[in-house]
Amino acid sequence: MPRLKRSTPEIVLSDPQYYFNRELSWLEFNNRVLREAFDPRTPLLERLKFTAIFTSNLDEFFMVRVAALKQQVEVGVTKPTPDGRTPQQQLEAIRDRLAPMVVKQHRHFQDALRPQLAAHGVYILDYVDLNQEQRVYLHDYFESQIFPVLTPLAVDPSHPFPYISNLSLNLAVVIKDPETEEEHFARVKVPNVLPRFVALPQSLQLQQQGIVTVWTGVPLEQVIAHNLEALFPGMNILDYHPFRITRNADLEVEEDEADDLLQAIEQELRKRRFGGSVVRMEVHASMPDSIRQTLMEEMGLTSGDVYEVDGLLCLRDLFCFMDLPLPELKDPPWSPVTHPRLRRLSEVDPENPTEGDEDFFAVIRKQDLLVHHPYQSFTTSVQRFITQAAYDPQVLTIKMTLYRTSGDSPIVNALIAAAENGKQVAVLVELKARFDEENNIQWARKLEKAGVHVVYGLVGLKTHTKLVLVVRREENRIRRYCHIGTGNYNPKTARLYTDLGLFTCREDHGADLTDLFNFLTGYSRQKAYRKLLVAPMSLRDRMIALVQREIDHCKNGFHARIVIKVNALVDPSLIQKLYEASQAGVKVDLIVRGICCLRPGVPGVSENIQVISIIGRYLEHSRIFYFHNNGQDEVYIGSADWMPRNLDRRVEAVTPVEDPDLAMDLQEVLGIMLADNRQAWDLQPDGSYVQRRPNSPEEERSSQKILMEMAAAAREG
């Protein structure tokens, strides 16, 4: 009899086994941040900074992501994510993965970073280790500087459990009335208006032989805790225990029902200040079960919501030590360089703005311009472009999107100056930019007061695009100048985030930006654009088509290649399309800084896909999309990650980079990143990440360091 042929199980690309959970993938990203705090190759104060970033990231994760999962559980949502987990299962998995991570963080700070800081003359002491003279000083400091700010709150039948604000550090205090022998519970908030760490004067600083003392001090909560008798006179202080809570801080705005979006956002911000439900409590390991249970009951928490810390709570406050005068313990200073093509530009003079060797507009007319921050200066490129437009008498109109900007924004000041100079200025301010809502409201009001046309975006969509359109009269014609970027118009974050920006005056780009701004500010059903890929209209379909084109080339026997650099890869349909590309033989390289739900290296599914994450001095924020296209390379940059929210619920813009020199520059950037063996981490099929290690220091290739060196060489050349 002929042998029966064993059938191979059919691969179903939507199978949950081929997808990582979004929340757990984010935790792996934050774990890579924490690992920078462990890496002895990273300067000591930078390691302290990464410890603080890890905590700050976690705070936002709980305020938004965990809060949303808890809400889903409360209303009975059981629909699984693409990886097959229900909201409740995700909460349990988050707890299991995160709890040991938090323990590692605090243990490392206590056992490694604090002693290493001490070896460099930075002493973060505990109150119990102080001598009598130091304690006397801090007692006097407490009475004069701290005591007047404190408000002890009793908890008993006549004093209900007090409201505890989001991210606040508190002391749970147990006192005993010596007359009645009754024990009482009180809460003392550690005021965030005071420095978290109290420095001792020079004369009382710790001195060790052979070490120059730079700073000596103690945590504020310990100064308060050892002077509690001043807050409860006549009472016996039995015990105190630090704790910290995190609340749901996401805004819920019913835009369809809001007559005035600005007012609706303001009302939600007031609610945020009072805070939503508590989603996490951090407690010191010494806290007894009785007090822990009381706090849990009063705030509606379970044991799974409580994270135990053996050491200092709220390590995000370690950011303050970056101000210490210890340059040898920090990354070498870096000053962004002016792009070589912009060096000869004249200073922007309000009286005579275009006098000089050349103006910005002439540079763009000669050739498209690509800038890469923070290697190249934001101030002498993007900021200068907008400032010159504000004062140039030939400029008629400036239109711009603002998602996040700095509190003292020179960009906003330039827009105000433009309006005062009689130009038509229209700005779309995204009021729903999370945790920047209040800042954006203030700037929106200031812009409106100056006569700027301010629009607050579209109902149901966040406007996340990074666009500037300048309309200029030139020799009896109108010319449009565009900036299309990957990052926010924020000069502060432009020194910390890597981002790209394209300047062009190509007719199709100008027409597309005109149409897109008309869509944002008026009434428009436009879905097709000449060059731009715009979400939520065309971006998703076009990206799928570009991947499919590589698949078709590969099936026809041609070389095919895809390289994508994004902050996050979550969208199931695009992940499935990349799986199809891998199955067809397309070589796919993904540079994904944060969340990646795609599982690489699975036989028959994704063995042709490599995923790396780069965690370094700068936060990788740029998005680049490269498609080989049978030798006719196409490269795009823009504001969108590959997430459902970016593709379906945000206004995003991605542009082709058509100048061949600039397209080659972007390919070089991608190549440098893919060759990184210092800051790069390889995603494994099981969801873990392995950091690349050079065989020797001489072979080390840090992509960010290389790009800084290239920018410096161009400056010197």
pLDDT digits (tens, 9 = 90+) for 685-712: 999 999 999 999 889 999 999 999 999 9
**One-letter identity of residue 198:** V
Nearest CA-CA partner of 486 in 672, 641, 644: 641
Does a structural domain hold residue 3? Answer: no
In the chain, pLDDT over 70 holds for what percent of residues? 90
Does a structural domain hold residue 11? Answer: no
Residue 158 predicted with pLDDT over 80: no
The confidence score (pLDDT) of residue 4 equals 52
Does a structural domain hold residue 2? Answer: no
β-pair type (467-474, 395-402) = antiparallel
Task: Give mean pLDDT, residues 410-427.
Answer: 93
- Give the domain-ending residue among 529, 548, 563: 529
Task: Give mean pLDDT, residues 562-575.
Answer: 98
Q: Which structural domain, as residue segments, surrounds residue 289?
A: 17-263+276-329
Residues 35-49 pLDDT 10s:
999 999 999 999 999
Nearest CA-CA partner of 291 in 235, 232, 226, 243: 243
Contact by Cβ (8 Å): 324, 64: no
Q: Are residues 119 and 143 in the same domain?
A: yes
The confidence score (pLDDT) of residue 161 equals 81
Q: Are residues 107 and 255 in the same domain?
A: yes
Task: Give mean pLDDT, residues 535-561.
Answer: 97
Q: Are residues 422 and 348 in the same domain?
A: yes
Q: State the helix-helix crossing angle for 44-61 and 22-38, rounded to 10 degrees.
A: 160
Does a structural domain hold residue 268? Answer: no
The DSSP result for 167-205, as a single string, is T-EEEEEEEE-TTT--EEEEEEEE-TTS-SEEEPPGGGS
Whole-number CA gyration radius for the chain = 28
Task: Give mean pLDDT, residues 414-420.
Answer: 94
Integer Cα distance of 25 and 20 in angstroms: 7
β-pair type (624-627, 561-566) = antiparallel
The confidence score (pLDDT) of residue 585 equals 97
Q: Are residues 154 and 238 in the same domain?
A: yes
Does a structural domain hold residue 506? Answer: yes
Q: Are residues 143 and 286 in the same domain?
A: yes
656 φ/ψ sector (left φ>0, alpha ψ -120 to 50, else beta):
beta
CA distances from 685 to 80, 280, 595, 606 (A): 21, 31, 15, 9
Active-site pick, 106, 226, 373, 464? 464
Q: Which of 451-465, 468-482, 565-579 has the lowest mean pLDDT?
A: 451-465
User: Residue 24 is part of a domain; what is its CATH number?
Assistant: 3.30.1840.10
Does a structural domain hold residue 292? Answer: yes
Q: Are residues 71 and 134 in the same domain?
A: yes
User: Residue 697 is part of a domain; what is its CATH number?
Assistant: 3.30.870.10
Residue 222 predicted with pLDDT over 50: yes
Token pair for residue 107?
Answer: 């243990």
Q: State the helix-helix crossing angle for 660-674 and 703-716, rounded to 10 degrees.
A: 140
Q: Are residues 359 and 485 in the same domain?
A: yes
Task: Return the exposure string of 230-255: e unless at least 16 CB atoms fall within 10 Å of the residue's CB, then b.
Answer: ebbeebebebbbbbbbbbbbebeeee
- Give the domain-ending residue among 329, 348, 369: 329
Residues 611-624 pLDDT 10s:
999 999 999 999 99
Integer Cα distance of 506 and 238 in angstroms: 74
- Separation of first and last alpha carbons in the chain: 79
Residues 614-661 pLDDT 10s:
999 999 999 999 999 999 999 999 999 999 999 999 999 999 999 999
The confidence score (pLDDT) of residue 439 equals 66
The confidence score (pLDDT) of residue 259 equals 45
How many helices and strands (H and E) does the chain possess?
19, 27
Task: Give mean pLDDT, residues 154-167.
Answer: 79
Does a structural domain hold residue 9? Answer: no
Q: Are residues 499 and 566 in the same domain?
A: no
Q: Are residues 31 and 151 in the same domain?
A: yes
The confidence score (pLDDT) of residue 405 equals 67
Task: Give mean pLDDT, residues 81-93.
Answer: 96
The confidence score (pLDDT) of residue 437 equals 57
Contact by Cβ (8 Å): 356, 318: no
Mean pLDDT comparison of 125-139, 242-256, 344-358, highest-scoring range: 125-139
Integer Cα distance of 114 and 219 in angstroms: 13
Residues 6 or more apart whose Cβ sits within 8 Å of residue 124:
114, 117, 197, 217, 218, 219
Task: Give mean pLDDT, residues 14-29.
Answer: 97
Integer Cα distance of 653 and 676 in angstroms: 29
Integer Cα distance of 295 and 278 in angstroms: 11
Residue 255 predicted with pLDDT over 90: no
- Give the domain-ending residue among 329, 348, 367: 329
CB atoms within 10 A of CB 184: 17
Cα torsion angle, 371, 589, 691, 27, sign: positive
Residue 457 predicted with pLDDT over 80: no
Half-sphere exposure of 265 (CA within 13 A, CB side): 21
In the chain, pLDDT over 90 holds for what percent of residues? 75
Integer Cα distance of 685 and 672 in angstroms: 24
Q: Which of 390-404, 439-453, 468-482 has the lowest mean pLDDT?
A: 439-453
β-pair type (680-683, 689-691) = antiparallel
pLDDT bin (cut points 50, 70, 90) of residue 407 is low
Cis peptide preceding 374, ω within 30 of 0: yes
Q: Are residues 227 and 180 in the same domain?
A: yes
Q: Are residues 541 and 520 in the same domain?
A: no
The confidence score (pLDDT) of residue 420 equals 93
The confidence score (pLDDT) of residue 25 equals 98
The confidence score (pLDDT) of residue 445 equals 80
Quick check: is 559 catalytic?
Answer: no
Paired strand residues for 156: 159
Contact by Cβ (8 Å): 61, 43: no
Integer Cα distance of 336 and 352 in angstroms: 27
Q: How many domains does the chain have?
A: 3
Residue 254 predicted with pLDDT over 50: no
Phi, psi of 211, deg, nearest 5: -120, 130
- Determine whether 459 is exposed, middle or buried from the number of CB atoms within 10 Å of its CB (0-12, 13-18, 19+): exposed
Does a structural domain hold residue 270? Answer: no
Mean pLDDT computed over every residue of the chain: 90
**One-letter identity of residue 113:** L
Integer Cα distance of 488 and 254 in angstroms: 26
The confidence score (pLDDT) of residue 434 equals 55
Task: Give mean pLDDT, residues 586-604.
Answer: 97
Q: Are residues 440 and 410 in the same domain?
A: yes
Paired strand residues for 244: 169, 282
